Amino acid sequence: MNKATKHVSKLFAAMALAGMASYSVAADTIKIAMAGPVTGAVAQYGDMQFIGAKMAIEQINKAGGVNGAQLEGVVYDDACDPKQAVAVANKIVNDGVQFVVGHLCSSSTQPASDIYEDEGILMITAASTSPEITARGYQLVFRTIGLDSLQGPTAGKYIAEQVKPKNIAVVHDKQQYGEGIATAVKQTVEAAGYKVALFEGVTAGDKDFSALIAKLKRQNVDFVYYGGYHPELGLILRQAKEQGLNAKFMGPEGVGNADISAIAGEASEGMLVTLPKAFDEDPKNAHLVEAFKAKKEDPSGPFVFPAYAAVQVIAEGIQKAGSTDTDKVAEAIRSTSFDTPTGTLAFDEKGDLKDFSFVVYQWHANGTKTALGE
């Protein structure tokens, strides 16, 4: 190729870039895309993320914004459908948004993050816990929630060292989140010398688990770990009690909200849950909880505060970097720590939280919990 054509094509490329860039030079608002399910079967978890992120944006704006600029949250609905997530990601690129809080489902986050990394968009997920997401050496992908691979061992160790059950069963909901944690728990307890009597998946969205419970009962299982979310475990607890299965149950943070007690009632008493520290019960966050309650929103979901923290990390990252250049912001995020409602957050090279510890709680039938410590 000769020099002249090279020149021309460079010019074209430059024009194209300039055309794109002109979108993002909006004067004094910084757009933050909130991507997650507004519709679809998991919309309830999307809600948790949205109310958290919106609250953060509102409060940061009230406090004067970021470097004089106001934040503007834009909701993008991916319905937790990977296909729509890619379309949403491309739309976000197109709209010139440079910061994303989301997505929710790991299966949406993964393909979308490919695009963000390519396009220099900074993404912080507040809910996707699959280890795969940050394991690909991406520079602009962060998360403000712990990994499945972290939570599983915590639970497994607690089972092996504290509970010491005779007969363990591990059940999961055949979804990325649930099966990931369940597998980690199984490996940990097996490493500690226990035998897992039953490792089985159920269908998320099912209502009837009586067949599974009869099976557990027959095998004299006295401890069940469930990897998944609260609607299924709630029903399992409820039906287990009706069928007279005497076993202790344990689950990850996906089951740890008051709804499980609403579903299972008395049967949820004594269940064990690994949770990040309960943010909404931290006295430090009392004013935030009040603010949510004033808007008639429920701050108890597991993703509300991580989403709040994600927005805050972006805002403070921009402030520290002094620009909205995402590479610089990412550098700023990696180099400092943030004082957020979910604790002091610091990020490692991969973009994960440096220490995000899970605590084992005992659940009570009225929807409250007590920490059991180590």
Partner 1 sequence: MTEPLYYFIQQLLNGLTVGSTYALIAIGYTMVYGIIGMINFAHGEVYMIGSYIAFIVLAALALLGLDSLALMLIGAFAISMIVTSAYGFSIERVAYRPLRGGNRLIPLISAIGMSIFLQNVVRLAQGSRDIAMPSLITGGWSIGPEEGFHATLSYMQLVIFIVTFITMTALTLFISRSRMGRACRACAEDIKMTNLLGINTNNVIALTFVIGAALAAVAGVLLSLYYGVINPYIGFMAGLKAFTAAVLGGIGSIPGAVLGGLLLGVTEAITAGYFSTEYKDVVAFSLLILILLFRPTGILGRPEVEKV
Partner 2 sequence: MKRLHFKAALLSLAVVVALTGLLLGVRLEQQGTSLSLSGATPDVLWKMAGAGLFIFLFNLLRDWIDAARGRLPALPGVPGGISQLSELVAVRRLFWCFVIAAAIVFPFFANRGAIDLATLVLIYVMLGLGLNIVVGLAGLLDLGYVGFYAVGAYSYALLAMYFQVGFWTGLVAAGALAALFGFLLGFPVLRLRGDYLAIVTLGFGEIIRILLNNMTWLTNGPNGIGGIDKPTLFGLEFNRRAAEGAQTFHEFFGIAFNTNHRVMFLYLLALALVLATLFVINRLLRMPLGRAWEAMREDEIACRALGLNPTHIKLTAFTIGATFAGFAGCFFAARQGFISPESFTFIESAIILAIVVLGGMGSQLGVILAAIVMTVLPELAREFNEYRMLLFGLLMVVMMIWRPQGLLPMKRPHLELRT
Of 130, 120, 189, nearest in space to 160 by CA: 189
Q: Report d(CA 23, CA 43) in Å as an integer.
A: 30
364 binds partner 1 (CB under 8 A): no
Helix (H) or strand (E) holding 273, with range, is strand 272-276
Query: Which residue in the set 59, 67, 70, 217 belongs to the binding site for partner 1 (CB under 8 A)?
Result: 217
348 within 8 A of 146, measured Cβ to Cβ:
no
Of 15 and 339, nearer to partner 2 (C-beta) is 15
Nearer to partner 1, 188 or 239 (CB): 239
State the Cα angle at 129 between 247 and 197, rounded to 5°: 30
Q: Cβ neighbours of residue 272 under 8 Å, at least 6 residues apart?
A: 155, 158, 163, 248, 249, 250, 251, 360, 361, 362, 363, 372
List the x/- string, 166-185, binding to partner 2 by CB under 8 A.
Answer: --------xxx--xx-----
304 contacts partner 1 (rule: CB under 8 A): no
- Helices marked H in the chain — which ranges? 3-24, 43-62, 82-94, 106-119, 148-158, 176-191, 210-218, 230-243, 259-264, 286-294, 304-321, 326-335
CB nearer partner 2, residue 77 or residue 352:
77
Smallest gap from Cβ 316 to partner 2, in A, equals 28
Task: Show the CA angle centred on residue 289, arms to residues 286 and 295, nearest 5°.
Answer: 145
Q: Which of residues 154 and 261 has its CB atom nearest to partner 2 in the complex?
A: 261
Q: Of partner 2, partner 1, none, which one does residue 83 interact with (CB within 5 to 8 Å by kind)?
A: partner 2
**Residues written for the chain:** 374
Q: Is 203 in the site for partner 1 (CB under 8 A)?
A: yes
CA distances from 356 to 111, 222, 306, 339 (A): 25, 30, 11, 14
Contact call for residue 163 and partner 2 (CB under 8 A): no
- What is the nearest approach in angstroms of partner 2 to the Cβ of residue 114? 5
Task: Name which position in 150, 202, 278, 309 contacts partner 1 (CB under 8 A).
Answer: 202
Fill in the amino acid letter for 184.
Answer: A
Q: Nearer to partner 1 by C-beta: 200 or 339?
A: 200
Contact residues: partner 2, CB under 8 A: 1, 6, 9-10, 12-14, 16-17, 38-40, 75-77, 79-83, 86-87, 90-91, 93-95, 107, 110-111, 114, 118-119, 130, 132, 136, 174-176, 179-180, 201, 258-259, 261-262, 265, 365-367
Contact residues: partner 1, CB under 8 A: 39, 41, 43-44, 47, 174, 200-203, 205-208, 210-212, 214-215, 217-218, 230-231, 234-235, 238, 242-244, 259, 262-263, 265
